[in-house]
A and B are shown apart, each in its own frame.
Chain A
Amino acid sequence: MSVQNASAAIGGASKSQKKSRGALFWKSVRKFPMVYVGGLIVFLLVICAVFAPVLALHNPITQYQNGLHMDGTPVGPSKFFPFGADDVGRDVYSRLIYGSRVSLIVGFVATAISLLIGTTLGLISGYFGGFIDTVIMRITDTILAFPFLLFALALVTILGSSLTNVLIAIGILGWGVMARVVRGQVLSVKEFEYVQAARALGASTPRILFRVILPNILGPIIVLATLAVSQNILVEAGLSFLGVGVQPPTPSWGNMIYAGVQDYQFAPWLMVYPGVALLLAVLGFNLLGDGLRDILDPRNATH
């Protein structure tokens, strides 16, 4: 049998396996209804971010004169400003809609960066073992030793405050846990017959790592990634709150909350709405991730 045939056989086997696994997946989704709630929130969030120009009522950075009272205080929720205006007369609702873009971009892109680094290192570490494993795991321990937020704060300060640098900082700091989990998963599957079969048939190492092992440990990785998205959205908001990251007038939920703190007493809408938006977004990814973990947990499997 040539390598092609062998891989076709492997591919075929995993495909039929995938189908039954997929059926089982949808069957157990019904047992965990919160996944739907999480999925719905995430879906709405994506819609918000993609169709922001359509959904927003006003330009998010235009300062409207009728957004301020005569004494310079912002006007509250009204027909023209559904969620009120901010301290320079910008529409809070439109800023909220556009702010979803920052949160989602950071959530997805930073997680993708961490995922790429963490999965690759975890696969290599678990598969090769020995000295390579020790070196990679010590590097992982080192990265995990730095308090995430503080280190991200230092890194963004050094790189300069911008969305790109926030993405990079969160992305290159967040892979530690992923590398550890992926390594553990690799250790548990690498002695299985299908991996040995692929090896015996002469499949190259990258092929074994990425085409044979990776698809079989995708479940825990997806769960981890979903939960990482929620964490990264919160970290971005925390950085924005501390004044590094996305700079005003570009709206991000974190810098909107920060700007609203001073006026909380007489203009609570400035802080309440972005806070609730942030809560919903993070909660959505958390519900989705938690639900997926319950569904993919073999102990909860439906037979």
Chain B
Amino acid sequence: MLSYIVRRLGGALVVLFGISVVTFILAYAVPSDPARMIAGPKASMATVLAIRHQLGLDRPLYVQYGAYIWRLLHLNLGMSYVYNLPVTTLIGQRFLPTATLALSAWIAELVIGIPLGIYTARRARKLSDYIVSILALIGISLLIPWLGIVLLYWLGFKIPIFPLGGAGGISHLILPALTYGITGAAAYTRLLKSSMLEVLKQDYVRTARAKGATESRVINRHVLRNALIPVITYGGIDIGYLLGGVVLLEVTFNWNGLGILAYNAISESDIPVIMGTVLLTALLVVLFNLLVDIVYVFVDPRIRYG
């Protein structure tokens, strides 16, 4: 098991290297000149050249990449052109709001998706299964901002139950979480349903039933534990969608987090901030997938890694 974890860590390191290369190329491929961005449109060519030299932009690519990695290892993501603050500071200020939002969105997905998955698996091929499946499919086909605005209008404005966007207490979290839950739950429902149907056919489920175990015990102890494995895998993949979707959620609900930071940075060509958020989110995805792979070992007794 230890060698499996070590191997998995090695793979993650290679991916981290890949991520650093991709973000470096993207930052380098930007058509707008960073030196010109800092100096402003009125600065003379000499000033621009001086800044370019100061930033090391006139040195060969591999030297710049080396410097880039060196800065990353020192948690230096550069300075924002617009705010004139270190990118790490900007990200640090907004990390917690985004983490809160993403976590609530994810919980909403699970709270909606998992019970529906169990329900449709137990009612497979009945009318209620079809109705719930179609509803879940409609959910997954909705555009996040569209659903968000409609919910905001009806549940925030017409019937003012929830606040109209912004950050605050739990009441501010419910609508964005619900929006993401509705659009994301179907993936979990679908996955859990098919894996439960597979498990329900197994001999050990029949044995449990033959022993006289109650239906809820069979489902909870025997079926769910085994059927949740692919769901956990998807949880790791989902973090990527979640961190992308959070941009749409934050813009829709005016939630001042990393998503809005990136969104504003994009309209202002603030490259260090864009690259910083892309890098951070990619890092989180790698981390979570690593976590999922390690959790596996403990969840599924059948998986033994030599």
CA distance A150 to B275 in the complex (A): 10
Question: Across the interface, which residues of A come within 8 angstroms of B157, CB to CB?
Answer: 265
Within 8 Å CB of B262, what residues of A?
A: 150, 153-154
Chain B: number of interface residues, binned into ranges: 35 or more
Establish whether residues A257 and B146, one from each chain, have CB atoms under 8 Å apart when the complex forms.
Answer: yes
In the complex, chain A residues whose CB is within 8 Å of the CB of B269:
157
From A241, A265, A290, contact of B143 by CB (8 A): A241
Q: Which of B173-181, B222-230, B237-245 interfaces with chain A?
A: B237-245
| CB-defined contacts of A138 to chain B, threshold 8 Å | 11, 14-15, 18
Residues in B whose Cβ lies below 8 Å from that of A286: 137, 140-141
Contact partners of A264 in chain B: CB under 8 A: 149, 153
Chain B: interface secondary structure? Answer: helix
- A145 to B277 Cα, complex, angstroms: 13
Which residues B238-268 have CB closer than 8 A to chain A? 240-245, 247-248, 251, 259, 262-263, 266-267
* Chain-B contact segment, one of A17-25, A81-89, A105-113, A274-282: A274-282
Contact of B277 among A150, A155, A282, A287 (CB under 8 A): A150
A279 neighbours in B (Cβ, 8 Å): 138, 141-143
> Is A45 part of the contact surface with B, judged by Cβ < 8 Å?
no
A209 contacts chain B at the CB level, 8 A cutoff: no
Give complex CA distance A261, B152 in Å.
11
Do B140 and A142 have beta carbons less than 8 Å apart?
no
Considering the complex, which residues of chain B in the window 14-54 have a beta carbon less than 8 Å from any beta carbon of chain A? 14-15, 18-19, 22, 26, 29-31
Q: B200 within 8 Å of A by Cβ? A: no
Among candidates A147, A158, A257, A265, residue contacting B285 with C-beta atoms closer than 8 Å: A147
Whether the pair A149, B266 counts as a contact (CB closer than 8 A) is no
Asked if B138 and A283 make an inter-chain contact with CB atoms under 8 angstroms apart, the answer reads yes
Please name all residues of chain A whose beta carbon is closer than 8 Å to the beta carbon of B259 when the two chains form the complex. Answer: 150
Q: Pick from A34, A145, A243, A283: contact of B282, CB below 8 A.
A: A145
| Contact, CB under 8 Å: B243 / A154 | no
Do A254 and B143 form a contact, CB below 8 Å, given A242-B247, A279-B138?
yes
> Contact between A257 and B263 (Cβ–Cβ < 8 Å)?
no
Q: Which of A124-156 contact B (CB under 8 A)?
A: 138-139, 141-142, 144-151, 153-155
CB of A230 within 8 A of chain B? yes
Residue of A at shortest CB range from B158? Answer: A265
Closest to A260 in B: B149
Residues of B within 8 Å of A275, CB to CB, are 142-143, 146, 150
**A144 touching B248 by the CB < 8 A rule?**
no
CB-defined contacts of A148 to chain B, threshold 8 Å: 240-241, 244
B78 CB, nearest partner CB in chain A, Å: 15
Residues of A contacting B196 with CB < 8 Å?
none
B170-191 contacts to A, CB under 8 A, are 190
* CB pair A146 B142 closer than 8 Å: no
Q: In this assembly, does B145 line the interface, its C-beta being within 8 Å of a C-beta of chain A?
A: yes
Q: Is the CB of A158 within 8 A of B29?
A: yes
Cβ contacts under 8 Å, A144 to chain B = 237, 240, 285
Contact B248 A290 (CB under 8 A): no
> Does A141 contact B18, Cβ atoms closer than 8 Å?
yes
* A76 CB–B CB distance under 8 Å: no
- Asked if A244 is at the interface (CB within 8 A of a chain B CB), the reply is yes
Which of A153, A258, A290 is within 8 Å of B137, CB to CB?
A290
Report B120-157 residues with CB < 8 Å from chain A CB.
134, 137-138, 140-146, 149-150, 153, 157
Assembly CA distance A234 to B242 (angstroms):
14
Instruction: Select which of A34, A153, A271, A282 is within 8 A of B247 by beta carbon.
Output: A153
Considering the complex, which residues of chain A in the window 237-274 have a beta carbon less than 8 Å from any beta carbon of chain B? 237-238, 241-244, 254, 257-258, 261, 264-265, 271
CB <8 Å contact, A154 and B141: no
Q: Is the CB of B137 within 8 A of A157?
A: no
> How far does the alpha carbon of A283 sit from the alpha carbon of B186 in the complex, in Å?
12
**A142–B279 CA distance with the chains assembled, in angstroms:** 11
From B14, B26, B30, B241, give the contact of A147 (CB < 8 A): B241
4 cross-chain pairs, A with B, having the tightest CB-CB distances, nearest first = A149-B244, A142-B18, A147-B244, A282-B141
Binding site for A on B (CB under 8 A): 11, 14-15, 18-19, 22, 26, 29-31, 134, 137-138, 140-146, 149-150, 153, 157, 190, 237, 240-245, 247-248, 251, 259, 262-263, 266-267, 269, 274-275, 277-278, 281-282, 285-286, 289
> Can you list 19 contacts pairing A with B, beta carbon distance less than 8 Å?
A34-B134, A142-B18, A145-B289, A146-B278, A146-B282, A146-B285, A147-B242, A149-B248, A150-B259, A151-B244, A151-B278, A157-B266, A157-B274, A234-B141, A244-B266, A265-B153, A265-B157, A279-B142, A283-B138
